[in-house]
Copies of this chain bind each other. A is one copy, B any other.
Amino acid sequence: MTHLPALLEEHDLAGALEWLETQPPYAIADEIARMDAVESVITFRLLDKDRALEVFEELDPVDQQQILQGLRDQAFRDLVENMDPDDRARMLKEAPAKVAKRVLAGLSAHERQMTAALLGYPEGSVGRYMTPETVALQQDLTVGQALEVVRRRGAQAETIYTLPVVDRGRRLTGVVELRELVLSEPGAMVSDLVVTEPPRARATDPAEDAARLMRETNVLDLPVVDSEDRLVGLLTSDDAFEVIEAADTEDVARQSGAEPLERHYMSVSVFRLSRVRVMWLMLLMVAATLTVSVTQLFENELNAVTELALFVPLLIGTGGNSGAQAATAAVRALAVGEVRTSDLFRVIWRECRTGLLLGCMLAVVGLFVGSFFVGWDIAGVVAITLVVICAWASTVGGTMPLLAKKLRIDPAVVSAPMVTTLVDATGLVIYFTTAKLVLGV
């Protein structure tokens, strides 16, 4: 099947319209996300009204506001009025003030109020992702009465599968699943089906923590409460999924020493791509001048045994790789909750032994490889350095993310490149010092 951009490029309007009518909304959203601002608005306008809303809901906030800016008033109002309040709040956050004002002005009073409430929560908090439209039940209902409440108020709610149970003061006392109601006799009491003390999140908690809690507890939706334990919304599993995916993408980018891209990889400009990368690259290069100083410090040794220079890239490369492995493992284990900051000393001990073991294995190979290029004495220096460097790099790599977390810095900022750069400089010291001791230069 021909892709949309090809059809547009050939000015095949009939073909493009047919493509847009037959493809599912997520596939259309995918194509739009890859386009630049002008193309995406043109394509969007080709959609009929119902499909337009479906496609719009699949887009990222940044793409959404780009499209809104290109729409006339009626189409604009229809779209924003029909969005979920949490999606709308997130989109508004990304929009320029002018667009945001236009959005809020166009909304019905009810929708405007909900959106404004969500915008009151801090960025990245549960409140920004939850849906405020829930069906809450009182504990003293029968199953039949409860189902009646669900029927009456369910059309408004984003989900009716998880039904929070609240007391007279709207304080969360439990949760009942729609499944339980449907499978029970109408005369049974809701109170007999309720799960009391359910896992919950505060609206001001970080959304990532709440999403991870949902994963651990395997609940479909998580009740969200305020500081007095009053129900304010539900975090649904698709929003939780989105939160975790965004957090993982951010972690992955940070691990390579880059800031996360806020938009689709194929649609951001080269300048933006460079901007998210240049800061760390620059910082790391400046930090790497330490290696220049260290090498200068040992210039005499290097001049006395020029063959030492041959192994510098191999040794610091191996040290860097070994440190990167440990750092990446530690960052991931922290992210999914396998390692806690209180495990610091156990992690040091684990990584130090792992690094030593790895170093010994590499040293055997390194000795033979080295002897192929230089004498056994220098090859011996290379082998010893490999053992020490690996133990050191693994320990540093495994420890730094935990230390970062203790200092309340995102552990993912302790990226593989950062560990590599640190290990480069210290690895040189290890190498030249070993050479000095063994060769007596």
- Residue numbers of A with Cβ under 8 A of B are 24, 26, 30, 33-34, 58, 147, 150-151, 154-155, 159-161, 178-179, 182-183, 199, 215-218, 220, 237-238, 241, 244-245, 248-249, 251-253, 255-258, 261, 264-266, 270-271, 273-274, 277-278, 280-282, 284-286, 288-289, 291-292, 295-296, 299, 302-303, 306, 309-314, 316-318, 320-322, 324-325, 327-333, 336-339, 343, 346, 350, 353-354, 357-358, 361-362, 365-366, 369, 373, 416-417, 420-421, 424-425, 428
Contacts and interface: CB of A to CB of B under 8 A. Distances in A.
A285 B270 CA distance: 33
A329 B265 contact: yes
B271 A417 contact: no
Contact of A361 (B154, B182, B278, B424): B278
B337 A30 contact: yes
A362 B24 contact: no
Given A26-B217, A264-B338, A310 B292 contact: yes
Nearest to A216: B26
List the 7 closest A-B pairs by CB distance, nearest first: A256-B328, A291-B313, A265-B333, A288-B314, A26-B216, A321-B417, A273-B354
A271 B357 CA distance: 8
A167 B328 CA distance: 50
B416 A324 contact: yes
Copies in the complex: 2
A317 B420 contact: yes
A295 B337 CA distance: 44
* SS class, residues of chain A in contact with chain B: helix
Nearest to A427: B313
19 contacts: A24-B217, A58-B218, A150-B182, A160-B183, A161-B179, A178-B182, A215-B245, A249-B332, A252-B252, A255-B256, A278-B358, A281-B362, A282-B365, A285-B318, A285-B369, A286-B365, A288-B318, A292-B314, A320-B320
A353 B269 CA distance: 10
Contact of A257 (B24, B150, B321, B373): B321
A313 B428 contact: yes
B336 A245 contact: yes
A347 to B, nearest CB: 8
Contact of A284 (B218, B284, B318, B361): B318
A154 B183 contact: yes
A11 to B, nearest CB: 21
A299 B308 CA distance: 12
Most interface-central of A299, A303, A316 (chain B CB within 10 A): A316
A151 B183 contact: yes
B256 A324 contact: yes
Contacts of A218: 26, 58, 238
A131 to B, nearest CB: 14
Contacts of A416: 256, 324, 416
A328 B253 contact: yes
A273 B327 contact: no
Given A253-B329, A281-B325, A317-B420, 17 more contacts: A58-B218, A150-B182, A237-B237, A252-B255, A252-B332, A256-B324, A256-B329, A266-B339, A274-B358, A278-B361, A281-B321, A285-B365, A292-B313, A292-B369, A292-B373, A313-B316, A321-B417
Nearest to A29: B216
A217 B249 CA distance: 19
A21 to B, nearest CB: 13
A350 B161 CA distance: 45
